[in-house]
């Protein structure tokens, strides 16, 4: 059993038919999405601060819990768009196994904030937390149903040798497959597994969320935990990357550019992305590689008739590959070189 209340205390928002956090005072662009940052009331009766959600020069997302004038402020954000079935994967740089017992890191599609179902429905959680009790497990996978009151859940305890983890779930209409791994892993790589769990209930159309919803992430203090970390110290979690792959897509390379394949090659310490197109280009085209700060890192001219090209010397992280005049904008991941 997961020892927690419903983690999003946003009941006053449930009547809204549009996606509106408690107070929307800021947005960030990250991982190919625009995210609305919560300022004011958020999960667990905490207060969200826009200053606690930032993207650094490497394109990494930072979530913080900090103290200002005696009040502890937390971090929460939701995509302005909705995301549905497919693979969700995060690469996190933080000691999530050693978070203070009062601290919760949540990664979760959440429908009620957009008017999709009532609280306690249409939610899929990966949470790293001990819910105020140091003896409880620190890993939590939870599925709140499309309708009804059947909740799927499992907990697990884990420890890390470093600070790198990969968190993944694959969501379909009939099952959700979760995996937590040590280290940074590509989609489809199951090495370093700390815990895997498949939730495939009876009556899946009732017991599994079926509709696209906003994606949320938050770093907060659990209900009934005194409103502060037990050790009195601020907390920071760095999320290196997030990717979503459409159903049936098994790797980032298959989705990028709507192409047949995009392969990441490492040569002399420099990552190179090789793009393979489904068919030769009918016209000359210029492609731009844009980082998550909106900066153009590289441009590539590709001549008519070409069916592949390479992008060299890219920094690790998530990038957007855009084709001029083609209406194409796809994300891809360059792995950390270790």
In the predicted model, is pLDDT for residue 283 greater than 80?
A: no
State the pLDDT at residue 163: 96
DSSP 314: P
Indicate whether 248 pLDDT > 50: yes
96 is written with which tokens? 């999530």
Instruction: Using DSSP bridges, classify how beta strands 317-323 and 139-144 pair: parallel, antiparallel or unpaired.
Output: unpaired
Q: What is the pLDDT of residue 338?
A: 42
Return the biggest CA–CA distance within the chain.
64
27 falls in which pLDDT band (50, 70, 90)? very high
Mean pLDDT of the chain: 81
Domains observed in the chain: 11-245 (2.60.120.200), 252-334 (2.60.40.3080)
Q: Give the distance from CA 136 to its chain's centroid.
A: 24
pTM for the model stands at: 0.74
Mean pLDDT calculated for residue range 1-30: 44
pLDDT in tens, 62-81: 999 999 999 999 999 999 99
Residue 113, number of CB atoms within 10 A of its CB: 25
Res 304: pLDDT: 80
pLDDT of amino acid 56? 87
User: Which residue, chain included where needed, has tokens 């884990």?
Assistant: 158
The two tokens of residue 136 are 């409880």
If you compute the radius of gyration of the chain from its CA atoms, what whole number of angstroms results?
20
pLDDT of 155 above 90: yes
Give per-residue pLDDT as tens, 196-208.
Answer: 999 999 999 999 9
């Amino acid at each position: 059993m997961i020892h927690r209340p419903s983690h999003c205390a946003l009941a006053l928002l449930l009547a809204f038919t549009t996606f509106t956090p408690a107070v929307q005072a800021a947005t960030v662009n990250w991982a190919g999405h625009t995210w609305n940052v919560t300022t004011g009331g958020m999960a667990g009766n905490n207060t969200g601060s826009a200053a606690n959600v930032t993207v650094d020069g490497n394109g990494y997302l930072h979530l913080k819990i900090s103290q200002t004038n005696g009040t502890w402020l937390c971090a929460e954000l939701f995509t302005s768009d909705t995301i549905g079935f497919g693979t969700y994967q995060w690469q996190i740089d933080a000691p999530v196994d050693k978070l203070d017992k009062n601290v919760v890191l949540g990664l979760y599609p959440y429908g009620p904030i957009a008017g999709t179902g009532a609280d306690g429905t249409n939610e899929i959680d990966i949470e790293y937390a001990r819910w105020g009790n140091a003896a409880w497990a620190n890993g939590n996978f939870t599925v709140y149903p499309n309708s009804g009151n059947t909740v799927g859940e499992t907990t697990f305890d884990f420890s890390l040798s470093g600070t790198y983890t990969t968190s993944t779930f694959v969501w379909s209409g009939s099952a959700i497959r979760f995996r937590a791994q040590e280290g940074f892993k590509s989609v489809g790589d199951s090495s370093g597994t700390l815990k895997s769990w498949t939730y495939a209930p009876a009556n899946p159309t009732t017991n599994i969320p079926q509709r696209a919803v906003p994606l949320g992430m938050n770093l907060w203090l659990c209900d009934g935990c005194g409103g502060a970390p037990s050790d009195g110290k601020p907390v920071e979690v760095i999320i290196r990357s997030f990717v979503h792959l459409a159903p049936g897509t098994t790797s980032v390379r298959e989705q990028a550019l709507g192409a047949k394949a995009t392969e990441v090659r490492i040569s002399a310490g420099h990552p190179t992305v090789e793009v393979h197109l489904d068919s030769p280009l009918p016209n000359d085209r210029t492609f731009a590689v844009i980082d998550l700060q909106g900066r153009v890192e590289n441009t590539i001219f590709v001549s008519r008739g070409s069916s592949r090209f390479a992008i060299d010397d890219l920094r690790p992280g998530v990038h957007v590959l855009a084709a001029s005049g083609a209406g194409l904008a796809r994300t891809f991941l360059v792995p950390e070189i270790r």
